[in-house]
Chain A
Amino acid sequence: MKNHDDYSIMIQLFIDDELKGQEREYLICHLKDCASCQEELEEAKVFSTRVRGARPKIEAPPALCKKILSQMSNPINQATSNLLVQKRSAVRPHWRPLAAAATLLIAVGGVLFTSHLRRELRAGNFVDAAVAEHRGSGDGRPLDVQSSSPDVVAAWFAQRVSFPFRMPNAGIAADDRAKYTLAGGRLVKFGGEPAALLEFRMPSNRISLLVSSDKLAAAIGGKVTRSAGLSFHAKDLGELHVATWDNKGLTYALITSAAMGSNRSCSTCHRESPAATATLKRSHERFWNAQPLPEISDNQGNHFPY
């Protein structure tokens, strides 16, 4: 003879489709005659439906998808190279020097191509991460360090990242012509390592700047503009403007939705001065944010505990 607790357990098993055979038949028979258990069954069904209906629709980030699909394609490449190795023994003796040279060329080309692909992948992943962080910040995520002082923010990151962090706050960005202010930063992760995300605020916009080691990230593609010895890569991703650049072992990705206007001038983020305007007019390789937050100079960086 089963008691009420036994039936309660059986009812839950029944809902979970874990009750089999005679036990299942037994419960079904019992339910026909027991109003209390019928009520409990209905309540349990409602509860289960309610919980299942609350399943959050979580989607893996597209960048992760891309990475995994890329990994999946590797075994195929490996199989192809194995096939080449097997066929090499079938080459006739007098063709062997030429075949060896051709193989060498293919191998070198392959290495260079693979290296380029890896660099492109790193660059793509870095921009994806920067964009994701920029959008995530828009949801009101708090900053880990809140300060308008570059020294304070730099010192905070210097103790937390594994690369020699430098604040990009010299040059055009350092003087009082900048229309944005530093809001602070957040420690994020990129490529399995800590990275720095800086946030700047404008009256009606904000700017995110992801900083990581160039061993994990890369600046590549887009419209390239050379300025002050650096190559800036600019492109638009939907409503967002992206600029990336490498400098002294670090890679930067700047993201903003600020409208750049038709000439993509510096005036979007910086108040124009006669000198700055003249400098820009001389340049034929104008960049939509001509000098996007260039780095702090070496002597300025010395007082940070790297």
Chain B
Amino acid sequence: MMFQRVGRISENEAFGIKYMDALYGYALMLTRNSFEAEDLVQETYVRALEAQHRLREDSNIKGWFFTILRNIWLNQIRKGKSGPQLVDVDGEEGGADLLQAHALNSQEILIGKEDAEQVQFAIGRLSAEFREVILLREFEELSYQKIAVVLNCPLGTVMSRLGRARAKLRTLLGETSCRPPGYGKASR
């Protein structure tokens, strides 16, 4: 089952805790900084607990948590607390940081999985907007509608952005597949 429906939200102790890893991964992608990511996830749970009573029976908790996290992050950017923003449109830059953040976590796991490394490397080279929509769709398996809610944009924008992100990713994978194994690790 892709999403968990709200059944007994009074179970405070475990409320949304199962999404912590996914939220932390998303926060890492947004902030590119493990400490800021931790703060962001922590703040997300604080806000979620405060607003828990507003959840409806049919609410989607996972999407709701992602939306809260992103809104907090955007507010932090507006206040000037966080540096990196989703401003690079379609560049080749900006991916290295994300890759490094992911690489630190995935290093132990992905040893020997050359293809996964190549895909991660390619995703790391995508623009921030494209990375975000790929993460939400392919990694977190959110529906287009849920992604639209998280990103606060029309459904059509999600579809077109996802389409362009995939096209770009295909192109990049065509390039990275020619690279020697372990490419991109030198800077670690």
Contact = CB atoms under 8 A, between A and B. Distances in A.
Interface of A: 9, 12-13, 16-18, 47-48, 50-61, 63-65, 67-69, 71-73, 75-76, 136, 139-141, 188-190, 192
A9 B159 CA distance: 9
18 contacts: A17-B143, A50-B119, A52-B138, A52-B139, A56-B106, A57-B106, A58-B105, A59-B24, A60-B23, A60-B38, A60-B41, A64-B20, A69-B13, A71-B49, A72-B12, A72-B45, A73-B13, A192-B35
B175 interface: no
B69 interface: no
A68 B20 contact: yes
Nearest to B38: A64
B188 A16 contact: no
B42 A54 contact: no
B38 A54 contact: no
B42 A67 contact: yes
Contacts of B143: 16-18
Contact of B41 (A16, A18, A68): A68
A76 B12 contact: yes
Contacts of A136: 104
B169 to A, nearest CB: 7
Contacts of A64: 20, 24, 38, 41-42
Nearest to A47: B170
Which 4 residue pairs are nearest across A and B when measured between Cβ atoms?
A189-B35, A54-B119, A60-B24, A58-B25
A54 B104 contact: no
Given A50-B115, A56-B102, A71-B45, A12 B20 contact: no
Contacts of A51: 119, 123, 134, 138, 169
Nearest to A129: B35
A54 B124 CA distance: 12
A56 B105 contact: yes
B141 to A, nearest CB: 8
Contacts, number: 108
Contacts of B24: 58-61, 64
Nearest to B110: A56
Contact of A139 (B13, B34, B170, B188): B188
A64 B17 CA distance: 11
Contact of B20 (A47, A50, A65): A65
Given A58-B28, A71-B49, 12 more contacts: A50-B119, A51-B123, A58-B24, A60-B23, A60-B24, A61-B24, A64-B20, A69-B13, A71-B46, A72-B17, A136-B104, A139-B107
A48 B107 CA distance: 22
B154 interface: no
A75 B48 CA distance: 13
Nearest to B12: A72
A57 B105 contact: yes
A72 B15 contact: yes
Contacts of B42: 64, 67-68, 71
Nearest to A51: B138
A65 B134 CA distance: 26
B43 to A, nearest CB: 10
Given A71-B49, A136-B104, A60 B21 contact: yes
A56 B25 contact: yes
A237 B24 CA distance: 25
Nearest to A64: B38
Contact of B38 (A16, A17, A61): A61
B120 interface: yes
Contact of B45 (A17, A68, A139): A68
Contacts of A61: 24, 34, 38
Contacts of A59: 21, 24, 105
Given A56-B120, A140-B188, A75 B12 contact: yes
A265 to B, nearest CB: 34
Interface string B99-126: 0001011110110000111011001000
Contacts of B49: 71-72, 75
B22 to A, nearest CB: 8
A57 B109 contact: yes
B36 interface: yes
A141 B45 CA distance: 30
A29 B1 CA distance: 27
Contacts of B181: none
A53 B116 contact: yes
Nearest to B44: A68
